[in-house]
């Protein structure tokens, strides 16, 4: 599991990105469970994620509507299969509007650059 913490901060919201190998929906659930064992991630406002396992595309917005699809599209563009990426957000009290999608993209790009 790779965790890149405090990579983006905007109007009080903070972002992290995590990822690792993942070959099924069950492994994705286990990955999220393991991530949330860290108290900080369990208390996050959103843990949005996506993974492509073979032909199956799996995503979860975790309340951040549309964010899972952004991660999924970036995984597909990079042809990165069997690897989950999770973008975590801690809400800072101010709405970010469309900027939140830019931050999701930036977080995924940050992660992909680290691979």
Query: Which CATH number characterizes residue 75's domain?
Result: 3.30.230.30
**Count of the separate structural domains present in the chain:** 1
| pTM reported for the whole predicted model | 0.94
Residues 40-62: what's their mean pLDDT? 96
Residues 6 or more apart whose Cβ sits within 8 Å of residue 102: none
Statement: residue 19 has pLDDT above 90? yes
- Domain interval for residue 79: 2-113
- Count the Cβ atoms, other than its own, within 10 Å of residue 30: 13
pLDDT tens for residues 64-102? Answer: 999 999 999 999 999 999 999 999 999 988 888 888 999
d(CA 70, CA 89) in angstroms, rounded, equals 15
């Amino acid at each position: 599991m790779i965790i890149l913490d405090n990579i983006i901060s905007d109007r009080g919201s903070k972002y992290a990105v995590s990822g690792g190998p993942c070959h099924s929906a069950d492994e994705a659930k286990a990955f999220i469970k393991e991530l949330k064992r860290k108290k900080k991630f369990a208390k996050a406002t959103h843990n949005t994620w996506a993974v492509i396992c073979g032909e199956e595309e799996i995503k979860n917005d975790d309340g951040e509507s549309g964010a899972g699809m952004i991660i999924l599209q970036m995984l597909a563009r990079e042809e990165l299969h069997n690897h989950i990426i999770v973008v975590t957000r801690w809400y800072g009290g101010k709405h970010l509007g469309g900027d939140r999608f830019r931050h999701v993209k930036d977080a995924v790009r940050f992660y992909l650059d680290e691979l």
